[in-house]
Amino acid sequence: MTARTHIRGRPGLWVGLFFASAGVIIALRLSGAIEEPVGFILLALSMGLMIPFNKAMKNSACTYSEAMDVYNRRMMVCSIGYVLGLGIAIVLWRNYELADWTVFALTLLPILPTFGMIWAMARYLKEESDEYLRHKSMMASLAALGFVLALGIFWGFLEMFGLVPHIWAWWVLPAWAIGLAGAQLWQKVRGA
Amino acid sequence: MKNRLKVLRAERDWSQQDLADRLEVSRQSVNAIETGRYDPSLPLAFKIADVFGTQIEDIFQRD
């Protein structure tokens, strides 16, 4: 798999549209204009904007390898699965009396796509043939891991002494993603 | 580690993208190696030497 630097495409437009649509959907849900299941379905549909984003990335000035393309497609499928799975699980759990084993099965609906995301990250590092891009991704991943560990320890002790509320452990993945984005931004600023 | 990539490229009138295509890596990678921000692996260093038809030690030197 080789990486090329292209000169056209506007991926920022599609990312902007995605965040704008997600913002509108969340606002509609919070105002009560739409029901919870509708919100989840609309959010999953808005993730379809990642398809033109992926195409725009291929034609943009950014370096975009084939492995990155495959990674983004895998992440998009997992993200749509996650939103739909979470939506179905929450709606069923809130509205029906379910046996424990059924609740366990329901929890797998958002869990499995999340595991898919972790698998996609691992496959990217395996499949990226450009060693410099792989090196940058690994450094950003390590920085993100450091961020999660630091945040977890910091928050954990504050929580133990009753200074902050409890947060669920699954927040490690969003926190890791924030750390990854921050590290990649830092690499860009540093010209790496 | 110092390198003579830029000089060798200029001698052949190659752009960074030309060299990247020959090495099957991104232009970003060539730029990072050329500016000393990234030291290539031994396999990539051999490939660079092959592309320029020379020895690794003629391209890369210790600081």
* pTM value > 0.80: no
Nearest-angstrom CA–CA distance, A146 and A152: 10
Average pLDDT over residues A150-157: 96
| ipTM of this complex prediction, to 2 decimal places | 0.91
How many CB contacts within 8 angstroms connect chain A with chain B?
Answer: 42
Local confidence band at A61 (pLDDT 50, 70, 90 cut-offs):
low
Average pLDDT over residues A7-28: 79
Q: What is the percent of chain A with per-residue pLDDT over 70, rounded to a whole number?
A: 93
Minimal Cβ distance to B24: which of A2, A133, A192: A2
Domains contained in chain B, CATH given: 2-53 (1.10.260.40)
Q: pLDDT tens for residues A89-132?
A: 998 998 899 899 999 999 999 999 999 999 999 999 999 999 99
Q: pLDDT tens for residues B11-55?
A: 999 999 999 999 999 999 999 999 999 999 999 999 999 999 999
Phi, psi of A63 (to 5 degrees): -75, 125
- Output helix, strand, coil percentages for chain A, rounded to the nearest 5: 80, 5, 20
- Determine the distance from the C-alpha atom of residue B6 to the mean position of all C-alpha atoms in its chain, rounded to a whole number: 8
Minimal Cβ distance to B26: which of A3, A191, A192: A3
Cβ atoms of A40 and A7 closer than 8 Å: no
List the 115-144 stretch of A: residues with Cβ below 8 A of B: 129-133, 135
Average pLDDT over residues A155-165: 96
Burial class (CB in 10 A: 0-12, 13-18, 19+), A188: exposed
Nearest-angstrom CA–CA distance, A138 and A87: 32
**Residue with more model confidence, A139 or A11:** A139
H/E/C letters for each residue in chain B? CEECHHHHHHHCCCCHHHHHHHHCCCHHHHHHHHCCCCCCCHHHHHHHHHHHCCCHHHHEECC
Q: Which amino acid is at A127?
A: E
